[in-house]
Structure 1
Amino acid sequence: MPLDPETRTQLVATIRRFVDERLIPREAEVAETDAMPADIVAAMREMGLFGLSIAEDYGGLGLSMEEEALVVFELGRAAPAFRSMFATNVGIGSQGVAIDGTSEQKARYLPRLASGELIGSFALTEPEVGSDAGSVRTTARRDGDSYVLNGTKRFITNAPHAGLFTVMARTNPDIKGAGGVSAFAVEAGVPGLGLGKPERKMGQQGAHVCDVIFDNCRIPADALIGGVEGQGFKTAMKVLDKGRLHIAAACTGLAERIIDDMLAYAVGRTQFGRPIAEFQLLQAMFADSKADALAARALVLDAARRRDAGEDVSMAAACAKMFASEMVGRVADRNVQVHGGAGYIRDYRAEQLFRDARLFRIYEGTTQIQQTIIAKALIAEARAKTGQRDRP
């Protein structure tokens, strides 16, 4: 059930204070240590951030998509590593079970994910399979009352901390493409599941990724999400539609934060005897950045409300994710330019946020994949209007 307006306003205000008072002041520490402070993680658990999207019946806050977007606009204002700590539980790490899981799977995992006791991770990408989710090569072979998994997953967010992996694996090698892929809820620590070393990344220090390796990893047959083979690709797409709106909201929040930083620097920095904020060429950057951020916010909220109303928002989510991720990159680049030489110096944070923003154009579907999704949807709509059939 949606929150009443007063409760929603209070929630957003509380999150904003948390970001301003607890998260932003710790950004440099997280970037330098590449670690998330334990007290911050504990505070996130206490605030219920790990369970934003999980139903109240399972201990979560049960926010609608619009409410989640409003919260993520605020959380996105801090360096992205903070959001990443709990975001897999809110999105791709829990939603496979939440959307398509059996009642037993939901009861077993969702309360622990909502509390943050269990960190969820989404294992889809492979060394030669990223954007082409239907070409998964990791196999899951049925053997009695078990499945045996073999394969490697790559660049898996929060894998070093995960207690539960949503794993996409091919259960039917005779079916090429998406139809042979199934989804599994795999608990950490089972024999045959190994982790690679955490990757050293361009940005987003404090958010950890690594390979997940399955070597004759035997899991119980009831780990099959929903209990039905061949539904994994559909589950992944449902999860990613929601996740893309979450990412778009995070991009929007980060852009709004960067605009604040940009203006604060510009009004205090003087050249030629006056603040650089008075220079018209810089003012054009301010204006373009604000228009970009407002457009992204409108896209996200429109798609979120439509999803809450039960509409298919695959194309709208792709549009929001594509625009917002490209937009925050433009804003972050302008911020470095406005800062001039200081923008290249770590103490000013402009260069860190520039590097942090770059990843948004890649994960949960690259910009090019979003363009493909949008174009295919538009072509299908056009053919439907003219009575033509899609090609098989």
Structure 2
Amino acid sequence: MIGYGLSDDQKMYQKTARDFARDVIRPASEHHDQTGEYPWEILTKAWELGLLNTMVPAEYGGLGLGALEACILSEEMAWGCTGIGTAMEANQLATAPLIMFGTEEQKKKYLGMLVDGLKDDGTPHMAAYCVTEPGAGSDVQAVKTRAVKEGDVYRISGQKMWITNGAKASWYFVLAYTDPDAGYRGLTGFIVDADTPGIEVGRKEINLGQKASDTRSISFDNVEVPAENVLGGKEGGGWAQAMGAFDKSRPIVASAAVGLARAAFEHARAYSLERTTFGKPIARHQAVSFMLSDMAMNIQAARHLVWESAWLHDQGERNTKQAAFAKAFAADMAVKVASDAVQVYGGYGYSTEYPVEKLYRDSKIFQIYEGTSQIQRVIISREILREA
């Protein structure tokens, strides 16, 4: 049956996240945007409240929430700040292949690491998804990283790029070729401890927006990884692991775009009721009221796409097309809503003294990371033609 209401538990999770975003994330947002400082204090508080690693199954110490609940939480965090939210939600992408395909021993060790306790410095363990390379973004099969087996170990060499939580992670999910001649079937997933000799972490990238997120290159120089860290215990499963993770994570990223758009809309609406021209609030001018109407309408439409794609995943059904729907629509919508919010503010919107300028900068990455808006359309076209 189709239902649009949230359960009591889902409402509780939503309220907890909304309060946290309002009281903890948003007050710190400007500081982290200006300094680029990684939000360890906020992440630690989130970990203590159970707002990190929410999809880790209960048998490994987590809450075991579904994709829909994760989307509900993600929207609220992103409403507070998408840079901080991205730092938090990067663990969801890194853990997705492990949750879906890992061996029992791998799950106990690496999922347990994230939820069981804090590091010696009092901060939580983080993880990172190492797939993208300088010459391999949308074209994942073009990765150059190699893993060569020598007895009971593999030696990994290559470079990854644009890795969120790159310098902060305790372990990485790494995609590398074990059989370069086999095409995508030769890709294998590995879990690599971040302190393994031979790993070099690059400088923090200074990005257009989401500056609280730690984005770096990661180089692997003959890095020795035990065979027991091959994800799932066998070679050749890397492509399915990496792509399967996106079906779980893209709705969550799309929900963050909804959260950003909601923040931009709320700021624009409030300002339009305060700012007066020609003797009345600008919200009473049709040109502005129609912009606000479009914002509200498209935010709601994006949220429904997000929730449907997440719900399908939680039902164990294939959601590749719906996840692409949600990711493409929500990303494009967030950029448009943030841009229109700047327009509502007029000249003030272009100033760093007002919040919509930051939201506009933060919005752009949603059309790029975790699959560009163009790649989502490639996926959608393949799915609808396959169905025909």
User: If the length of structure 1 is used for normalisation, what is the TM-score?
Assistant: 0.94
- Residues 39-93 of structure 1 deviation map (CA, whole Å, 9 limit, x = unaligned): 322211111122211111112111111111222221221111111222121x211
Question: In the superposition, relative to structure 1, how do residues 249 and 186 fare at CA in structure 2: closer, same or farther (>3 Å)?
Answer: same
Question: In the superposition, relative to structure 1, how do residues 124 and 38 fare at CA in structure 2: closer, same or farther (>3 Å)?
Answer: closer
1:29 pairs with 28, 31, 52, which one?
31
Task: Please report how far the alpha carbon of residue 210 of structure 1 lies from its aligned counterpart in structure 2 after TM superposition.
Answer: 0.6
Question: In the superposition, relative to structure 1, how do residues 38 and 126 fare at CA in structure 2: closer, same or farther (>3 Å)?
Answer: closer
Correspondence 1:344 to 2:345? no
Match runs of 1:164-203 below 5 Å: 164-176=171-183, 178-203=184-209
Task: Please report how far the alpha carbon of residue 276 of structure 1 lies from its aligned counterpart in structure 2 after TM superposition.
Answer: 1.0
Task: Please report how far the alpha carbon of residue 37 of structure 1 lies from its aligned counterpart in structure 2 after TM superposition.
Answer: 4.0
Query: Cα RMSD (Å) of the superposition?
Result: 1.2
- Residues 209-261 of structure 1 deviation map (CA, whole Å, 9 limit, x = unaligned): 11000111111111100011110010001101111010111111111111111
Q: Is the 8 A contact 2:17 2:51 kept in 1?
A: no
Match runs of 1:302-313 below 5 Å: 302-313=308-319
CA distance, structure 2, for counterparts of residue 128 and residue 113 of structure 1 = 31
Task: Please report how far the alpha carbon of residue 160 of structure 1 lies from its aligned counterpart in structure 2 after TM superposition.
Answer: 1.1
CA distance, structure 2, for counterparts of residue 284 and residue 126 of structure 1 = 42
CA distance, structure 2, for counterparts of residue 313 and residue 114 of structure 1 = 28
CA distance, structure 1, for counterparts of residue 210 and residue 278 of structure 2 = 36
Q: Is the 8 A contact 2:38 2:214 kept in 1?
A: no
Task: Please report how far the alpha carbon of residue 23 of structure 1 lies from its aligned counterpart in structure 2 after TM superposition.
Answer: 1.2
Q: Is the 8 A contact 1:94 1:113 kept in 2?
A: no
Partner SS for 2:147: strand
The residue aligned with 1:65 is 67
CA distance, structure 2, for counterparts of residue 174 and residue 273 of structure 1 = 71
CA distance, structure 2, for counterparts of residue 139 and residue 327 of structure 1 = 38
Runs of 4+ in 1 over 6 A off after TM superposition: none
CA distance, structure 2, for counterparts of residue 87 and residue 70 of structure 1 = 12
- Residues 155-174 of structure 1 deviation map (CA, whole Å, 9 limit, x = unaligned): 11110101110000000022
Question: In the superposition, relative to structure 1, how do residues 126 and 39 fare at CA in structure 2: closer, same or farther (>3 Å)?
Answer: closer
1:299 pairs with 282, 302, 305, which one?
305
The residue aligned with 1:354 is 360
- How many equivalent residue pairs? 377
Counterpart AA for 1:98: I
The residue aligned with 2:160 is 153
The residue aligned with 1:42 is 44
Q: Is the 8 A contact 2:209 2:361 kept in 1?
A: yes
Match runs of 1:324-343 below 5 Å: 324-343=330-349
Partner SS for 1:293: helix
Q: Is the 8 A contact 1:336 1:350 kept in 2?
A: yes
Counterpart AA for 1:92: L
Unpaired runs of at least 5, structure 2: 1-5, 119-123
CA distance, structure 2, for counterparts of residue 254 and residue 9 of structure 1 = 20
Task: Please report how far the alpha carbon of residue 7 of structure 1 lies from its aligned counterpart in structure 2 after TM superposition.
Answer: 2.7
The residue aligned with 1:386 is none
The residue aligned with 2:57 is 55
